Chain A
């Protein structure tokens, strides 16, 4: 197997250690960065996506492949020139104030990272001003809010108001989700998008930022 084939295989298998090892060897040998990224990592993830949509790869496998790819990008990122960042967009995500549930939010964060977004995960029970501060700090493109309890959903319009008051609202897209959250509620509170599950969250994020 060539180095490139080995790299692709390791990413496909979700073996982060092996992938990083091959990538490091290739870099040490003076390999071409663009080739490693495009024909190694991205090509492997395209294959992963293809298998996932045909039902041959399940989400856990997809996430492990994404982690392997990210581990390699961790090696490569510092070597890329300033304007060659490969982030699809920057997302601030968290479960709203009063709510400690996070599995859904974690899934969205993992899948967004896997799709190439830079994700700042604020955790759970996040008050509106923390969303505002983080968005300002990283110049976020998307603010993603999650809630499992209907009683904590009011924190969502509160967070949108906080973004407005801080003058941040115009610079971000707000996306919401969670079991009791609906499209109708999203419209009512002025959110930009609603996603019913983690997979669609990635799709909506791409649409919101003008990609596809």
Chain B
């Protein structure tokens, strides 16, 4: 997306912002900690200024590669090794009911069902606690939503937390499941999402949450979500410069708290449609910003918590199709390690839809096929088989075709490929319908529990706040 010169210029601008404008953290003790670590602090304006040389020294300890572990050991996420992983996203509060098609507030059961669904979708490689459980009291949210995530999927679990007490509870829960705190540190089953507020502001509670995670070896991100034209300049380069400053500040702060801690460079940039000030996460520019963000993170050899696959469409329709595919492809081609929001999201990230998870899984499959590329070697070139078939021959039943077909072709489960007459005879099916059927099939008997009964009763004894669904 960006040329080498573009990356350098934006990086330079981002560093200038950190040096000259700084980040505001309205918390004396945090500012003091930064000052003690070598940053320049102005107590009056509550700003921390991060000079370039200091920044480079601090960032040296940030690891370029680490693993986000899966509970079942089968779907570890290897960051920093050039692999691309798609996953879903959080902060959803509305769901498209799978049976009625109606939109309703999300519940704890939706967290469990989304986890169970993701567990069976091959291309969705990690699970972010997707939504609010409106049927619970706010105090019980985190414990219950994370428990359901651990219970119903073996994938690595990530989620947002509102404060250090919340993370503490989840940390204890995860340690109980992992078999102790040390084992959890070695194989982190969960990680935490925190966010800065653009422009250039860090909530003290967020800083405390970040510190809690860093000190206990819980992988974390402190991700800016600047909106071009609203909370960031109304130009893409300006938005990137500010986002880059914010993202680096997050990683630097994490390293101040615990040098060497596992932290992802976070980026959730988007645009505002300036005609009516509508949030446009599905815009082409949002896709471009996210692709460019990957390049900026890679300049510092940091794994990136990237974003793609959100549409502003309210239903799994044509707009959703093209907006999602565009961003998923662009961000994946940029080489992002960890692409979140890429499954199930609609309505600018406010709504989730079960059939959309299934559709996005297929999209992700297509994108992975692009990443795999075209293999060119003696075997693939097939000169032998071409010679054998000769002019006028065909390749349908050749060994060569059968030998390579599983490797060469992505076989989508949803796309309609039958010829027109057959399609009509079958009642004119479409992708959304087929996705709904598949989702219903997977969720048919209700979400299965993965933890064994002994573990479950031990955990429920230890954490009485956990509720049934």
Contact = CB atoms under 8 A, between A and B. Distances in A.
Our verdict on whether A and B bind, yes or no, reads: yes
Interface of A: 55, 58-60, 100-101, 103, 107, 149-151, 154, 179-180, 182, 184, 197-199
B276 A197 contact: yes
Interface string B201-212: 101000000000
B1 interface: no
Contacts of A151: 138, 141, 162
A182 to B, nearest CB: 8
A59 B276 contact: yes
Contacts of B203: 100
Given A100-B203, A150-B132, A55 B231 contact: no
A199 B197 contact: no
A119 B274 CA distance: 23
B277 interface: yes
B138 A199 contact: no
Contacts, number: 39
Contact of B277 (A100, A107, A182): A107
B277 A150 contact: no
Interface string B323-349: 000000000000000000000000000
B93 interface: yes
A138 B98 CA distance: 50
B275 A103 contact: no
A194 B326 CA distance: 34
Contacts of A59: 274-277
B395 to A, nearest CB: 54
A55 B440 CA distance: 43
B350 interface: yes
A201 to B, nearest CB: 11
Nearest to A98: B205
B352 interface: no
Contacts of B274: 58-60
B398 interface: no
A55 B274 CA distance: 11
B197 A101 contact: yes
Nearest to A99: B203
A103 B227 contact: yes
B278 interface: yes
Closest 6 CB pairs of A and B: A58-B274, A59-B277, A180-B93, A58-B275, A103-B230, A103-B231
Interface string B250-279: 000000000000000000000000111110
A199 B273 CA distance: 13
A55 B275 contact: yes
Given A103-B230, A150-B132, A154-B138, A198 B162 contact: no
A1 B140 CA distance: 67
Contact of A198 (B132, B197, B231, B277): B277
B275 A197 contact: no
A179 B277 contact: no
A150 B231 CA distance: 20
Given A101-B197, A150-B93, A179-B350, A197 B162 contact: no
Interface in B125-171: 132, 138, 141, 162
A59 B132 CA distance: 32
Contacts of A198: 277
A173 to B, nearest CB: 23
